[in-house]
Amino acid sequence: MIKDFNEVIKSRRSVRFFLGKNIKTSIVKECIKNATLAPNSSNLQLWEFYHVINDEIKINISKSCFDQPAAKTANQFVVIVTRKDLWKNRRDFNLNFIMNKFKDLKDKKSRRKKKNAVNYYKFLIPTLYGNFLKISGLIKYLNVSILGLFRPMYRQVTSSDLRVVVHKSAALAAQNFMLSMRASGYDTCPMEGFDSVRVKKLLNLPGSAEINMIIGCGLRSEKGIYSEQFRVPFEEVYFEK
């Protein structure tokens, strides 16, 4: 097991060929649990994780990924799915937690904090995620654009904006998962090249669900790393202000 975090970061690679060896389902599952600990917008956790170990489904997942080597040689798959449509359920989950966890607060400051948190989930979250026929999204956009002329405003309020927000949260979870896999001595390859319609059908996903990425999992082959890792110069992406 790799324990040094810097070593985990630097040794994680997108592996294109995996060895024909089994990896432990229980370890992959633990790594998925670590994925759920990732930071996410408003703690709504609008994600699902499909751990594919069935041989027939794996073959079909690979075909839907165009049988690219990282899919064809993968021992298991993890499909990360966004569920923006579940915002009401996850909002209620947060509300129930707050109400039960902090039901006997005594001091005024703590009660005020609880009230603010409750109002956030009762009113602000529905305002953001509720969107009747996209009309309300347009109204929200116009409102924040006008108010933003006079003070700082949160501007990502349309349905497409929130779709990006949910996918960003899912991507953070994906990175947690891949680093956990590397720390466990396993390898991964995140894939964006796939037929999303076929994969959704394979996993029986509703139309409102979206696939964030498919991650092939296994043990790296020597030919699985195409080249040494290289990045644009750090000075081109780092700006100190």
The domain that contains 188 carries what CATH number? 3.40.109.10
How high is the pLDDT of residue 2? Answer: 56
How high is the pLDDT of residue 102? Answer: 87
In a domain, 116, yes or no: yes
- Lowest average pLDDT, out of 35-44, 144-153, 170-179, 213-222, goes to 144-153
How high is the pLDDT of residue 149? Answer: 83
pLDDT of 37 higher than 60 = yes
Q: Are residues 42 and 75 in the same domain?
A: yes
Q: Are residues 180 and 77 in the same domain?
A: yes
State how far Cα 159 lies from the chain centre: 18
Instruction: Calculate the average pLDDT of the chain.
Output: 93
Domains in the chain, number? 2
Q: Are residues 99 and 212 in the same domain?
A: no
Look up the pTM and report it. 0.92
Report the half-sphere exposure of 112 (CA within 13 A, side-chain side). 3
How high is the pLDDT of residue 132? Answer: 56
In a domain, 172, yes or no: yes
In a domain, 234, yes or no: no
In a domain, 237, yes or no: no
* Banded pLDDT at 153 (limits 50, 70, 90): low
In a domain, 230, yes or no: no
Q: Are residues 210 and 151 in the same domain?
A: no
Q: Are residues 91 and 81 in the same domain?
A: no
Q: Are residues 11 and 124 in the same domain?
A: no
Range of the domain at 97: 87-160
